[in-house]
Structure 1
Amino acid sequence: LSRLAKKMKKISRASQEKTSDISSKLSEIFTNIEIIKANNAQEFEHAKFTDENAKFFKLNLKSVKVNEMVSPMMEIFGSVGVAAVVIIGGKEVIDGNLTMGSFFSFLTALFMLYTPIKRISGLYNKMQDAVVAAERTFELLDKEPQILSGDKPVPSEINLINFKDVRLNYDDKEVLKGINLSASKSQTVALVGSSGGGKSSIVNLLMRFYDANGGAIEINGENIKNFDLGSLRQNIGLVTQRVYIFNDTVANNVAYGREYDEAKVELALKTANAYDFVSNLPEGAQTVLNEFGTNLSGGQRQRIAIARALYDDPQILIFDEATSALDNESEQQITKAIANLQKEKIIFIIAHRLSTVQNADKIAVISGGKVVGFDTDEALSKSCEIYAKLKGEALV
């Protein structure tokens, strides 16, 4: 039974890992259903899923085989045991060492004991599933978080953010190679450059989605690692290119994770240039959005995401390609809204379209993980070849 249990444990672990793979694959398929249909890849994905499912079926088949071996084994051992008792006990009775009553009492007790033992043996094998599940759960629970929170609250007034020789590695590959830049209160800093240069990595470090491998990021002269993680992120509003919409009302999407305030929702929607289209929805801000916001256009989803970032009036705002899905008119209105917000905030903008960033106070040109230029639009146009080239491409 012990040998079977070890085999069962091994199969159970493989089976649970395969279940995880299948769940992940299904989630990927449902999330990217439009791309799959657009590329006529239904049969391709069906074949991949069928292959994964077949592997899962084989593992379950092995599990059933091992489980079903327990009952016949117990029957065999039980029969051998009873036969041994009858032979030995019968001999003892014949020899006069044991009375007939004692022998049958023992035999009756043995039969009564057999069924519970058989059930326990079957349960022992089935428990291996639970043991493996518990081990997998505790493997996750026992993992130490890589990002450790500090204990200081973020200052009520953030005046300066400094990146000092910040370095970052991904899988032994150096992505950021000594970033030096700063942003002051009431200032907008734009990050521009070709894809893969490290722009998003810079703001992700500010959010502490991961920590730098070298250098430091400081707020008012204090390393951000010393600040409470919740307090830090509460003071930063983030809008990314990939928009997340929850299957809930517009209002709850805007106030997501925070205490609901109707006045704050309305103000955030107006600032994000979303109030007009939200008012025209069947139930206004109380309209329930589909999963992933499929009953909204791409630009509308993006404006909801911008409103969410503005809801708590954070001191720092990060727009990572936040206007990429907007038409020119909406983009201009959002740009005006950002200009109004600038009076009391520090704003970081990442954009490929230079029209979005030309009015920024400072523009950091990122190339190959380094800041190759950090100045105004006018100055960079003259002094930075990479920026001048980007600007020329934008005009074309």
Structure 2
Amino acid sequence: MKQIYNNNPFIFALRISKKQWKLMLASVGCIILATLSSSILPYVMKKIVDIITYTTEEARDLENLWWFITAYLGLYLFSFLFLWIKEVINTDVRAKMGHDMRTTLHKHIAKHSNAYFSKHYSGALANKINTADSSVHIVFQVGNAFLPIGIKLTTTLVLAAITNIGLALIMAGWILVFLPINIHLLKRIKTLSRHHAATKSSFTGEVVDVISNINLVKIFSKEQQELKRIVQKSNERKETGVALYSYKATITLINNILKFILIAVIFFTSIMFWKKGLITVGDIVMFLALGEVLQSSIAHITATIDNFFDQYGQLEEGLGTLLKPHDIVDKKYAKPLKVTLGDIHFSDISFLYNTQQIFSHLHLHIPSKQKIGIVGRSGAGKTTLIKLLLRLYELEDGKITIDEQNIARITQKSLRANISTVTQDSQLFNRSIFDNISYGLSVTRKEVEAASITAHAHEFITQMPQQYNTRVGERGVMLSGGQKQRITIARAILKNSPILVLDEATSALDSESEVFIQDALKKLMRDRTVIAVAHRLSTLMTMDRIIVLDKGGVIEDGNHKTLLKQKGVYAAMWKKQSGGYLKE
């Protein structure tokens, strides 16, 4: 997908709406017809009143009276009929635009790097997408508000000028005073809306973060402390909301005063002109109606500009975060990865994370189908090395190759398709067990069951009321740690990738679960290149090699027995363990 770098809200809205240009054109046509029909109504009413108020029967043109009454009713009917058609069209367009906007934003943020997601609350990102969904329709404001208002103002001034130039000039003068005042006042709405949207997203992110970690909050009895954080964020949201809506209320008051002045001036001036015989009773009725049209149109303009700036500010704040350029992108000439052996080279790689040097000119070769374990102190870069292999982070220097193919020059999709991962934090969707095991794969029920049997998951799955159709809850909360891990292993078995990554796959499991999982992993590791990160060193004893990371590079390399004989860092780690688990 083409990257979106221009996060200007209006340009983004136009980009989203361009697929619907035919429907939008039809909507504009309905708006023009409806507005013209309603704009002529005051003039037709003037004719009706003039005929009725003639002093003699002979002066009254009753034939034309019925014609004008019919015209008035017909124009009124056409007006709301075209408005109804416009709303039907717009409902369809808005729904389609909302769908296109949500999918476009999701496609874009899904391609952001891990570094991006580590900087933003997931709840805040979701809130920004929802806000953008409700605000993307600003493009409609041009066609649905400014266009009909422009037509109404034009017809109002033309009809007024034809009837009495003096009253027409009063109306025009009022417009010239009203609009500049409102444009000046409304400019601040965008800034206030942007600040309010930011505090809303921050509040939502904080709430989601607390709810996601509610067990931790309860265990440490930190409900009151977290409540204080929520109250603080809520107060920030309240303060920006009060500032925004108080300012809007002030603008409304000023506009109501200006509208009162207009109607009062038109009313008294019309009466004065009527007394002098310059206008008829019908003219007075028309001017009062035109004054009402004028002030309602101008009020609609200010409300539209208010809403426009409000939505613009919210959309600008959201898109500023969501549509940032991707850190990691496929090269134009990127090709799919073709793995025949599974030979991996980390060649002179260097990597910084938040200014901290994690790796400095690291070299590591993992021959095809070799099984290596990676150990080291906390912060040595064990998991980071895995993320660099998956290209979840970009190297500062050096290169990583798989079968002599630089991963920076191959597609990310093909790279990750050739690597299966089993991590300590088994990542599951709130979907069925079948959906979680078959995630990203086109497989049959029999294949899923076969993989589950190999992973020792079939037994507990079949004991559940809905078996493979059982929903696992958010992040798999309905399953135990061992059950989630076996689901993940079954997924990796089905994926059948030539390279396997195990990141703390057996840590923090009970003994019974570990027996099942170790057996499942043993089957999974056959005939593959395996990289296993572990604190529990006993799980790495059978590995072909064990790599010790520290100070940005490899400080020890050998099998379990060799490293113990060297009496170096690995041997010291082994001695410090209790039950084969590394004390950090």
> Normalization by structure 2: what TM-score?
0.63
Counterparts in 2 of 1:295 and 1:111: CA distance versus 1, 3 Å: closer
Report the number of matched residues. 394
Matched residue, 1:358: 541
Return the alpha-carbon distance in structure 2 between the equivalents of residues 286 and 89 of structure 1.
Answer: 77
Contact 1:152 1:227 (C-alpha < 8 Å) held by counterparts: yes
Return the alpha-carbon distance in structure 2 between the equivalents of residues 274 and 143 of structure 1.
Answer: 41
Return the alpha-carbon distance in structure 2 between the equivalents of residues 137 and 62 of structure 1.
Answer: 20
2:218 pairs with 1:54: no
2:301 pairs with 1:124: no
Contact 1:299 1:325 (C-alpha < 8 Å) held by counterparts: no
Matched residue, 1:297: 480
Counterparts in 2 of 1:255 and 1:87: CA distance versus 1, 3 Å: same
Query: After superposition, where does 1:69-80 map in structure 2 within 5 Å?
Result: 69-80=250-261
Matched residue, 2:496: 313
Query: After superposition, where does 1:178-257 map in structure 2 within 5 Å?
Result: 178-257=361-440
1:332 shift after superposition: 4.2
Which ranges in structure 1 are unaligned for 5 or more consecutive residues?
none
Return the alpha-carbon distance in structure 2 between the equivalents of residues 332 and 128 of structure 1.
Answer: 61
Q: Secondary structure at the residue paired with 1:181?
A: strand
Matching residue within 291, 295, 319 for 1:110: 291
2:560 pairs with 1:377: yes
Counterparts in 2 of 1:156 and 1:367: CA distance versus 1, 3 Å: closer
Q: Which moved more, 1:118-127 or 1:348-357?
A: 118-127
2:447 pairs with 1:264: yes
1:145 shift after superposition: 1.2
2:199 pairs with 1:18: yes
Matched residue, 1:64: 245
Return the alpha-carbon distance in structure 2 between the equivalents of residues 340 and 45 of structure 1.
Answer: 45
Q: Which moved more, 1:346-355 or 1:261-270?
A: 261-270
Matched residue, 2:167: none
Return the alpha-carbon distance in structure 1 between the equivalents of residues 214 and 291 of structure 2.
Answer: 62
1:247 shift after superposition: 1.8
Q: Which moved more, 1:368-377 or 1:211-220?
A: 368-377
Which ranges in structure 2 are unaligned for 5 or more consecutive residues?
1-181, 580-584
1:276 shift after superposition: 2.0
Query: After superposition, where does 1:170-181 map in structure 2 within 5 Å?
Result: 170-181=353-364
Deviations 1:353-385 (A, max 9, x none): 111111111111011221101221122222361
Contact 1:374 1:380 (C-alpha < 8 Å) held by counterparts: yes
Q: Secondary structure at the residue paired with 1:359?
A: coil
Partner AA of 1:355 in structure 2: S
Q: Which fold has the larger relative contact order, with Cα–Cα distance below 8 Å and residues 6 or more apart in sequence?
A: 1
Return the alpha-carbon distance in structure 1 between the equivalents of residues 365 and 516 of structure 2.
Answer: 27
Partner AA of 1:124 in structure 2: I
Return the alpha-carbon distance in structure 1 between the equivalents of residues 511 and 235 of structure 2.
Answer: 50
Counterparts in 2 of 1:333 and 1:75: CA distance versus 1, 3 Å: closer
2:466 pairs with 1:283: yes
Contact 1:302 1:325 (C-alpha < 8 Å) held by counterparts: no
Counterparts in 2 of 1:301 and 1:325: CA distance versus 1, 3 Å: farther
Contact 1:252 1:260 (C-alpha < 8 Å) held by counterparts: no
Q: Which moved more, 1:353-362 or 1:301-310?
A: 301-310
1:85 shift after superposition: 5.6
Query: After superposition, where does 1:80-99 map in structure 2 within 5 Å?
Result: 80-82=261-263, 99=278
Matching residue within 518, 527, 530 for 1:335: 518
Q: Secondary structure at the residue paired with 1:144?
A: coil
Give 1 or 2: higher strand fraction.
1
Return the alpha-carbon distance in structure 2 between the equivalents of residues 148 and 71 of structure 1.
Answer: 49
Return the alpha-carbon distance in structure 2 between the equivalents of residues 395 and 332 of structure 1.
Answer: 18
Q: Secondary structure at the residue paired with 1:178?
A: strand
Give 1 or 2 for the bigger CA radius of gyration: 2
Matching residue within 215, 227, 231 for 1:34: 215
Counterparts in 2 of 1:265 and 1:149: CA distance versus 1, 3 Å: same
1:291 shift after superposition: 1.9
Q: Secondary structure at the residue paired with 1:343?
A: coil
Contact 2:194 2:316 (C-alpha < 8 Å) held by counterparts: no
Supply the RMSD in Å over aligned alpha carbons: 2.4
Return the alpha-carbon distance in structure 1 between the equivalents of residues 508 and 490 of structure 2.
Answer: 15
Contact 2:426 2:484 (C-alpha < 8 Å) held by counterparts: yes
Return the alpha-carbon distance in structure 1 between the equivalents of residues 457 and 475 of structure 2.
Answer: 17
Give 1 or 2: higher helix fraction.
2
Q: Secondary structure at the residue paired with 1:311?
A: helix
> Normalization by structure 1: what TM-score?
0.91
Return the alpha-carbon distance in structure 1 between the equivalents of residues 468 and 353 of structure 2.
Answer: 41
Identity %: 28
2:351 pairs with 1:168: yes
1:245 shift after superposition: 2.2
Deviations 1:2-44 (A, max 9, x none): 2332222111111111111111111111111111111111122
Return the alpha-carbon distance in structure 2 between the equivalents of residues 140 and 49 of structure 1.
Answer: 22
Deviations 1:174-222 (A, max 9, x none): 1112221122222111101111110000000011111111111001111
1:350 shift after superposition: 0.3
Counterparts in 2 of 1:177 and 1:307: CA distance versus 1, 3 Å: same
1:108 shift after superposition: 4.6
Query: After superposition, where does 1:130-141 map in structure 2 within 5 Å?
Result: 130-140=311-321
Partner AA of 1:77 in structure 2: L
Contact 1:4 1:125 (C-alpha < 8 Å) held by counterparts: no
Return the alpha-carbon distance in structure 2 between the equivalents of residues 70 and 320 of structure 1.
Answer: 59
Contact 2:485 2:517 (C-alpha < 8 Å) held by counterparts: no
Partner AA of 1:168 in structure 2: F
Q: Secondary structure at the residue paired with 2:188?
A: helix
Return the alpha-carbon distance in structure 1 between the equivalents of residues 380 and 237 of structure 2.
Answer: 41
Contact 2:339 2:403 (C-alpha < 8 Å) held by counterparts: no
Q: Secondary structure at the residue paired with 2:439?
A: coil
Return the alpha-carbon distance in structure 2 between the equivalents of residues 368 and 306 of structure 1.
Answer: 32
